[in-house]
Amino acid sequence: MPVESGSSAAARQAKQKRKSHSLSIRRTNSTEQERSGLQREMLEGQDSKLPLSLRSNLLDLFGQIEREFENLYIENMELRREIETLNDRLAAEGQTIDGGDLAKGALKTKASHSTSQLSQKLKTTYKASTSKIVSSFKATTSRAVCQLVREYVGHRDGIWDLSVTRSQPVVLGTASADHTAMLWSIETGKCLLKYMGHQGSVNSIKFHPTEQMALTASGDQTAHIWRYMVQLPTPQPVADISVMPY
């Protein structure tokens, strides 16, 4: 504890010294003005292609730069004195402080603080983005509802292709590896016709745009065009449930 009080007292003394030096610098402004006046007179006696007003402005700027460097030099000297004072106070405990070590310690402390802030910010952003993604997936899953509407059962092997006619009657055609092509009623799911002309797997099926004709291609190295005539089943009447019987 006495070491800390001594260091704080040394810091106050250093601040007071810097203030006294800044006051002494202000008091010497008059001497600097006299010196600048002498320099202007010397410039007037020298040969130069620059106008006198421009040379005077340049001289004023260089004088300001020189004063800034003087102030920095004085502050640097005061900091060195402060470090020496602290070293003298801590010498009894076997601890010394170097100016470079102080600067490095301050930079390390500031860097670690900024790194922790950046890490915390990244964690917060990651959690927020992750929660948004998870919530969007949950919302999508809750809205996605699948329900089987109709099933077409009749082939004995895999179905390679299917197609729907663009003219009446509208039917569904399927091509299967069981060597057959079948036409189905879309509404009822019943098989209307089975084509068995191929000797190999039927790989594709297409319909004529206006006529009742189908084109199938098979693994038996043939393509068949065949006509069909089907009659769709009569749709079942929908029961009227608007009036409930008593």
Residue 170 lies in a domain: yes
Residue 174 lies in a domain: yes
pLDDT in tens, 29-75: 555 566 666 566 665 556 677 788 888 888 888 888 888 888 888 98
Q: Are 192 and 230 in contact (CB under 8 A)?
A: yes
**What pLDDT was estimated at residue 172?**
94
**Sheet hosting strand 223-227, strand order edge to edge:** 202-207, 213-218, 223-227
With a cut of 50, say whether residue 4 has pLDDT above it: no
pLDDT in tens, 82-129: 888 888 888 766 654 455 554 455 545 555 665 666 567 666 666 665
Residue 4 lies in a domain: no
Answer with the residue of higher pLDDT: 214 or 130.
214
Q: How confident is the model at residue 1 (pLDDT cuts 50, 70, 90)?
A: very low
Q: Are 206 and 172 in contact (CB under 8 A)?
A: no
**Rounded-to-integer distance, Cα 58 and Cα 43, Å:** 11
**What pLDDT was estimated at residue 2?**
44
pLDDT in tens, 52-63: 888 888 888 888
**Rounded-to-integer distance, Cα 138 and Cα 131, Å:** 10
Number of DSSP helices (H) and strands (E) in the chain, helices first: 4, 7
pLDDT in tens, 170-213: 999 999 999 999 999 998 889 999 999 999 999 999 999 999 99
Residue 203: which CATH number? 2.40.10
Q: Are 124 and 116 in contact (CB under 8 A)?
A: no
**Rounded-to-integer distance, Cα 80 and Cα 83, Å:** 5
Number of neighbours of residue 75 by Cβ within 10 angstroms: 14
pLDDT in tens, 136-177: 555 555 567 888 888 999 999 999 999 999 988 899 999 999
Residue 20 lies in a domain: no
**Rounded-to-integer distance, Cα 109 and Cα 121, Å:** 18
Structural domains counted in the chain? 1
> Coil, strand or helix: which one is 7?
helix
Residue 203 lies in a domain: yes
Beta bridge partners of 213: 227
Q: Which residues contact 39 (CB under 8 A, 6 or more apart)?
A: 59
**Rounded-to-integer distance, Cα 118 and Cα 110, Å:** 12
Range of the domain at 194: 159-227
DSSP code string of 8-64: HHHHHHHHHHHHHHHHHHHHTHHHHHHHHHHHHHHHHHS--SS-HHHHHHHHHHHHH
Residue 33 lies in a domain: no
Model pTM score: 0.40
Highest mean pLDDT among 7-16, 18-27, 198-207: 198-207
**Cα dist. 150→172, 186, 239 in Å?**
12, 8, 20
**Rounded-to-integer distance, Cα 8 and Cα 86, Å:** 10
Residue 187 lies in a domain: yes
Residue 212 lies in a domain: yes
